[in-house]
Amino acid sequence: MNNRELLILKAELEQCLKKTREAILLRDVDKLSIILYELEVAQKKFEISYAKIYSNRFSKNDALCSLTPEGSYVSV
């Protein structure tokens, strides 16, 4: 993930936060449901990008490591 992609993801998350605040103030449950979905999509994008970054950082000597769901590596 490069800086541009990080900035785009950051902007998406900031927009979701703004929409969340507005929906809470308006007590709009439907809007909150949509925002929750958008946040889940953004989270998945981040998890995928994070996994790609860290999988590229390990050399062939580290091939016996496995990525955990929490985003850390363990020896296999």
Question: For the segment 34-72, what is each residue's pLDDT rounded down to a tens digit?
Answer: 988 888 888 888 888 777 777 766 544 454 555 566 656
In the chain, domain spans: 3-75
- Taking 80 as the threshold, does the pLDDT of residue 11 lie above it? yes
Of 43, 42, 69, 67, nearest to 55 by C-alpha is 67
By three-state DSSP, how is residue 67 classified?
A: strand
Threshold 0.85, pTM exceeds? no
Q: Cα(7)–Cα(20) distance, rounded to whole angstroms?
A: 20
Predicted pLDDT at 60: 46
Residue position matching structure tokens 């927009």: 15
Give the pLDDT score at 67: 57
